[in-house]
Amino acid sequence: MEEIFIDFEKDLLEVKNTIDLFSSLETFAQVSHSEFADNTEEFLKNSIELSEKIKLNRRGNTRIPTILMLYVAGRFENYAKTIMEETSTQIAKKHTTFKALPSKFQESLINDTSKVVQNPRKYSHGEGARDSFIKNLYHNIHDNKLDIINYQCMSITERNMRADVITELFSKINYKNIWEDICSQANMRQLFDGADVSKTAKECKGKLNTFMDMRNNVAHSSGAITWISNQSGIDYILFFIEFGRAIKSVCPIHIAQTSN
């Protein structure tokens, strides 16, 4: 799971660095270059031209952080699903029979596989995946072979990765107290000024839901959009990095606590 998180953190830091770059460019554009106007050196001429372009596109520049948040939302959703898939796979491998799996796990595996098999394209799978999913489930139930499960089916969701969707996603693998575990992590409590677990959970869920509301407002705009600042974009990125770190930290605990 560490490698999954490292890739996630790397991708988000690249977005942060991009926003930092635009912040620096905006600062650069505020510097008066009139004293260099008659200077014929190529570098200074290009600097003045760049400064003027930044000023000219000020309105467009202010939209960049919010647009980048669409990528951050999708990348977080992919990350949460990937961690859940890895967790489900490791839990399955700890059990010797299908019936030994937690009942919620069994139910989710059967029901979600059925959904995907009925309409694989809806869940971004080719028609050829249908037979593989059916065979895997047959081997799970009838042969008690749990080395391969349909984790891609178990991680399907119908909505954006809001707080309640996180709950629903991990409850499929019988992880019912994931929010309590996440918000007990020191990095999450520190992120919210050392608040106790319940307050940290409330604030964390609120921040996540506010972000997803913003994401939907931009992706499905039918009116005015509130464009966030560079700093707000960076704050969200740092939030998701710490949130992702906490998810990565607590899932191995759940695996260890799931007995055969």
Per-residue pLDDT tens for 202-235? 999 999 999 999 999 888 876 778 889 989 999 9
Domain membership of residue 57 (yes or no) is no
Domain membership of residue 122 (yes or no) is no
Domain membership of residue 51 (yes or no) is no
Residue 67 region, left (φ>0) first, then alpha (ψ -120 to 50), else beta?
A: alpha
Domain membership of residue 144 (yes or no) is no
Count how many domains the chain has: 1
Domain membership of residue 160 (yes or no) is yes
Domain membership of residue 190 (yes or no) is yes
Mean pLDDT, the chain, rounded, equals 89
The pTM score is 0.88
> Residue type at 37?
A
Q: Which domain holds residue 182?
A: 2-30+62-104+154-257
Looking at residue 22, its pLDDT comes to 77
Domain membership of residue 56 (yes or no) is no
Helices (H), the chain: 2-29, 42-56, 58-61, 64-93, 103-118, 129-142, 151-154, 163-171, 178-182, 186-191, 197-219, 230-257
Looking at residue 38, its pLDDT comes to 53
pLDDT, tens digit (0-9, with 9 covering 90-100), for 116-154:
999 999 999 988 899 999 999 999 999 999 999 999 999
Q: How many CB atoms lie within 10 A of CB 27?
A: 10
Residue 85 has pLDDT above 80, yes or no: yes
